Amino acid sequence: MARKLWHTRALAAATTGVMAFALAACGGTGAGGGGNGGAGDGEEGGLVGVAMPTQTSERWIADGEAVQSGLEEAGYEVDLQFAGDDIPTQQQQVDAMINAGAEALIIAAIDGTALAGQLEAAAAAGIPVISYDRLIRDSENVDFYVSFDNEQVGVQQATSLLMGLGLVDESGEPVSDAPAGPFNVELFAGSLDDNNAHFFWKGAIDTLQPYIDEGTLVVPSGQTTIEQAATQRWLQEVAQKRMEDLLTANYGDKKVDGVLAPYDGLSRGIIEALRSAGYADDAMPVVTGQDAEIASVKLIADGVQYATIFKDTRLLAEQAVIATEAYLAGEEPEANNTEDYDNGEKIVPSYLLESTIVTKDNIQSALVDTGYWTAEEVESGVAE
């Protein structure tokens, strides 16, 4: 079956606020006419609430727009909201969606534990809840989870670090004539309130630990726990400040060889700190990433950042739409993982997608040939 790719970025630039679009004139009923379809008016193609965490990272804008356009094509109305990474704002947005008569909710939580009250209200109103990319925790009222294989993403992040240091090939196999090291590396993790951060860290640290144990990798700061490596709210400036501090405290007489960074925004903060400390762009340590953000893809093309992990948000959005359609047709969506995502109250049936390591060598095949970014965007580093 050919997968339909929604052209997320072909849509108008980032749009906030309540979207009460007329129903798309497809699907036969024409129920919305030309007017603003009222929320929950009972006609075919009801309202779906889509709650995204923030617009500061372009992936969430792309996710929001892709989910919105997919749902609209399927004949639903969409209320798409971004919460500016503010937990009370996201709580209010979800409350408002429920009050407006949303028939399903798709939520990428800021803090995975902060929406239990909202989900209780959703369950009481019979509204299915799809946890999007990040698992909502501590609530039995999460019906389905669509995401990537997050532990594998962490394995790929660590693998890309080892690849950049010349220790393994792209499938993670040790290189026969690998350098002995030791290599100085520093480790960054995501926001501890995001369930994904723990999966990324586990995948990464399990992959790196043997190299740390045998002394091929050394962490001069000694900061090797997720708590020490964490980056509150995934903020670029927080990562930049920590990298500056690490450089000042530990690198007076040594060089950094590699940095594990689990998100491109953090990678760019880390690169800024390295630049300020005198590292030239053509002599950067191996810096990893995630999300294939266009600014980082350009840095990779320019040989400054080493790698990112590409998670195709178009495919994730597609799965969220498929799951929504299943629920609204009175069916259960199809899961491909019913074991790994325990949210503290239950194992949430999940649909997990695969991700890809992207270095300079496969920007063209992974990102340009697939239509995720154009060659011009890679060249300029700016999304059009």
- The footprint of ligand BGC on residues 191-220 (CB under 6 A) is 194, 196
Q: Does 183 bind ligand BGC (CB under 6 A)?
A: no
Q: How many CB atoms lie within 10 A of CB 86?
A: 14
Beta bridge partners, 356, equal 310
- Could you tell me how many residues of this chain bind ligand BGC (CB under 6 A)? 12
Q: Does 290 bind ligand BGC (CB under 6 A)?
A: yes
DSSP H helical segments within 214-278, as ranges?
A: 226-229, 236-250, 264-276
Which of 134/268 has CB closer to ligand BGC? Answer: 134
18 by Cβ neighbours in 10 Å (0-12 / 13-18 / 19+) ranks as: middle
Smallest gap, in angstroms, from Cβ of residue 299 to ligand BGC? Answer: 16
Q: Does 305 bind ligand BGC (CB under 6 A)?
A: no
Q: Cα–Cα distance between 65 and 150 in angstroms, integer?
A: 22
Q: Does 132 bind ligand BGC (CB under 6 A)?
A: no
Beta strands in the chain (DSSP E): 47-52, 77-82, 104-107, 129-132, 144-148, 183-187, 217-218, 258-260, 286-287, 307-310, 350-353, 356-359
> Tokens in use for 74?
């399927």
Question: Which stretch, 82-90, 180-188, 190-198, 272-280, contacts ligand BGC (CB under 6 A)?
Answer: 190-198
Nearest-10 crossing angle of helices 264-276, 294-301: 50
Q: Does 133 bind ligand BGC (CB under 6 A)?
A: yes
Q: Does 76 bind ligand BGC (CB under 6 A)?
A: no
360 by Cβ neighbours in 10 Å (0-12 / 13-18 / 19+) ranks as: middle
**Residue found by looking up tokens 């948000």 in the block:** 313
- The footprint of ligand BGC on residues 220-279 (CB under 6 A) is 234, 263
- N- to C-terminal Cα separation, the chain: 30
Smallest gap, in angstroms, from Cβ of residue 62 to ligand BGC? Answer: 11
Which of 211/234 has CB closer to ligand BGC? Answer: 234
Smallest gap, in angstroms, from Cβ of residue 133 to ligand BGC? Answer: 5
Question: Which stretch, 66-74, 167-175, 189-197, 370-378, contacts ligand BGC (CB under 6 A)?
Answer: 189-197
Which of 9/325 has CB closer to ligand BGC? Answer: 9
Please tell me what DSSP assigns to residue 225. Answer: S
Question: Which stretch, 77-85, 160-168, 188-196, 347-355, contacts ligand BGC (CB under 6 A)?
Answer: 188-196
Which of 137/311 has CB closer to ligand BGC? Answer: 311
Sheet with 47-52: list strands edge to edge. Answer: 77-82, 47-52, 104-107, 129-132, 144-148, 350-353
Q: How many CB atoms lie within 10 A of CB 193?
A: 18
Which of 61/363 has CB closer to ligand BGC? Answer: 61
Which of 141/150 has CB closer to ligand BGC? Answer: 150
Q: Cα–Cα distance between 160 and 24 in angstroms, integer?
A: 43
Smallest gap, in angstroms, from Cβ of residue 267 to ligand BGC? Answer: 10
Options 45, 47, 50, 57; binder of ligand BGC; rule CB under 6 A: 57
Q: Does 134 bind ligand BGC (CB under 6 A)?
A: yes
List contacts with ligand BGC (CB under 6 A). 57, 59, 133-134, 190, 194, 196, 234, 263, 290-291, 311
